[in-house]
Structure 1
Amino acid sequence: MASVSFLLKEPSATKATPIFAFVSFDGQRVKVSTGLTILPKQWLKADQRAQERGLPDNGKLNDALALAKQQLLDCYQVHRSQGQLPSSESLRAAVVPVAAPTGSTAPKVRTFGDYFDEWIALARAQQKPRSAQVYATAARHVREFAQATGYAVDFDTITPTFGDRYTTYLLHKVRLTDNTVAKQVLTLKRFLRWARERGYTDATGFDRLTWKRQEPDIMTLTAAEVAALEQLVLPPGGYLANARALFLLGCYTGLRFSDLISIKPEHLRGQALRMTTQETRETVTVPLRPEALVLVEQLLAGQVRAITNQKLNDYLKELGQLAGIDSPVEVIRFRGGVRESTTVAKWERLGCHTGRRTFVTLSLERGLRPETIMKVTGHRSWKSFQRYVNVTSDTVEREFRQSWGQV
């Protein structure tokens, strides 16, 4: 179990001094800044809280201390549930400081943006960098919308009327597609539900926010295209050989990129990987084909190096072009319900997630049941799994011939 105590930096000072939190757990003690200050004469040392009698503003300070304590305990519990201990950095990131106004010992009133920042910091503390990045992007769009339109964004003002203006702004000013707008609306609603669960608001108007998502065409590689990548002659140890190894491991296992680069020795169980996924916290067991096992061992030995998602996407396009993956594909986007279409070479659309989708489609073509594949990939519902399935025209023709003869 973890415990949190509060101490003053300079208990004997005659001016406001910082309040620090000390988190004790499993033989460790970590010092964390709360971002709060108080006059020492107003501090009740035995109770570890500010005196409120005759000082009503200190009630807000005590509320802020209680929030910081809960954030730290939540961070500890999240890590322990994953079989880990929180690092000092994770604990410090878990507390969103509430700065006191100049000349006052009471914290400022928290704004809508402060609560959004707390949500983002919590994702970082839970070691979900990709989620934190998604949340930060959503916060930026909301902030820039408020600045551009003068709309006073707050829990009580996020209503269907806000939704109409916000989605119009995202479509026509930011030039997002329908699917990206839908993602922004969904992320905003996730934040608002989180805030309501924490008791930060009791607003309900945002429940009616909606935007129609247009299901995109799924692009996967064929077995022949995967083979072309495998057979591509590359300088050993170079950046392209490294990128190919990471991508092929995704094609062989169906793991997300964030999980691929998180593989550790303890995850390897004989001829399989057993790990908790970064994004959904699902525990999955992934059987390893011989070629996948070789790549996992190289990754663990440092012969295959982790790189950023963005770099891998860039290198995959270069690899795809070298491997001759250049069949034309149609890229369809919807903006405000209007269909926009362009045709590009297939290598131009190669990305990290293509590997996971390729794994699903090729596994289905090899005869694995959808339920089995979902168990490996960690998909919880058929609806989400279906987005990864790409039945190609070649597959349709082959299966028709197998069932009905020449067509």
Structure 2
Amino acid sequence: MNIKRNIIFSLESRKKNGKPIVINVPIRMRVMYAGQRIEFTTGYRIDAAKWDEAAQRAKNGCTNKLKQNASQINNDLSKYYADIQTIFKEFEIAETIPIPRQVKTAFTEKQKGKSIATLKHPFFERFDDFVKERGAKNDWTFSTYEKFASVKNHLLAFDKDIQFNDWNEFRLTDYVNYLRAEKKMRNSTIDNQLDFLRWFLRWAVERGYSENRAFDAFKPKLKTTRKKVIFLTWEELNRLRDYTPYLKARNTLSGCGMCSCSVASQV
């Protein structure tokens, strides 16, 4: 069996205020086969002026905002290309055309190679060290310790084998999707979870446990809704106004404001 496929690396097309974004643009990997199209985030960003569209690689001698050079970026892009080819060859041998989810899962598994540094600084052991150190230094309350215990549980449920080097833009995006789909979290709660994770990852970099700073550039657009404003009816306003003489004397000014808001809501 031969599964025809095409693997393309390109910059994401984004706009701000109607103008194309050309600074610090995410590099995307697109895989097309059998009428399917899969988008992968590579975890790298580069300025448009530093990207060779024809070669589908970063221009030699260039670096991105995180000081990652073209050689490092291009080597990983080539590795991703080879990994995708290997995945499809395995499916060809099995005489099976994979669904997109199978390709994504297989690709994720191939990115989990563990280095010596990973074995020396296991992610969750360092997380416990972080909680112990920060908690003692900042005199955390019991509720703060509970929050970080919850953060750890979410991370374990997401991927119990995850390590510092795994947290590229691809995996960070997966984590956001996991919190939204599996944990049913609102965007505001997801944003808080990411802040806690960033705090820990930044601490790990400062301690020399990790050199991965992909979290610095990861800023997903998480829309949050404003709290709903509830207006009182005239009956409720009158009941509040007549509640006690003390409230009358003390809240004359605020009462006028409330009435104005109520009148505006009735128009």
- Report the TM-score range of the alignment, normalised by the length of the smaller protein: 0.3 to 0.5
Give the TM-score, by structure 2 length: 0.40
Q: Determine which structure has greater relative contact order: mean sequence separation of CA pairs < 8 Å that are 6+ residues apart, divided by chain length.
A: 2
